[in-house]
Amino acid sequence: MNKMVMAISVFLLIGASAAHAQRDDGVLMDVQEVNIAHMKAGRMSGAEAVMKVMEQYADGQYRFAFISNNYLVPAQQQKYLNGGRERFVIAVAGYPAQNNLLYTQVFFDNSFFFIVLARREADMKLTSDMQIIKVNYEKGNAVRRNNVRDTIQRNNIIPLGIDTGTR
């Protein structure tokens, strides 16, 4: 587990700065492992599990969620991130110098995706290299929060095979 946490930490900080044009000032705030069998036994969707971890660090000031497609972990990193198909890992990092941008990365098997919560649309520096969906978000607004959750479920969780449908 410690080896996996360290590998995720390094991958998260390198990936966030290189792939998404963010500066290298991120602070790793949390790494949580979700047992899929326990999650399903509790009748929770994969996207809801991701939201619950991510929202521990979000307040009512975040207005935008940027959600990536699913991507394969680079081959040289796969040996460190071999978590199997029974669990997935959620890593959360904050960027204080960028208006407290909140970056969450989800690892499952040999794949990953990320979600960025931002206070202003301009806080997230977009590149044309990756497909990213922008969704309006408010922690206290059930409709906007659930739109983000449903987008994650539909575009990331179900295609990865973490979950087969909504509950």
d(CA 114, CA 121): 16
Residue 23 has pLDDT above 70, yes or no: no
76-131 tens-digit pLDDT: 888 777 778 899 999 999 999 888 899 999 999 899 999 999 999 999 988 888 88
d(CA 145, CA 136): 8
Residue type, 154: R
Residue 3 has pLDDT above 60, yes or no: no
Q: Token pair 């909140």 is at which residue?
A: 102
pTM assigned to the model: 0.83
Residue 12 has pLDDT above 90, yes or no: no
d(CA 89, CA 112): 9
d(CA 46, CA 33): 12
Q: Give the CA dihedral 103, 135, 123, 23, nearest 10 degrees.
A: 30
Residue 40 has pLDDT above 90, yes or no: yes
Residue 69 has pLDDT above 50, yes or no: yes
- Looking at the chain, the whole-number percentage of residues with pLDDT higher than 70 is 83
46-58 tens-digit pLDDT: 999 999 999 999 9
Out of 95-99, 156-160, 161-165, the most confident range is: 156-160
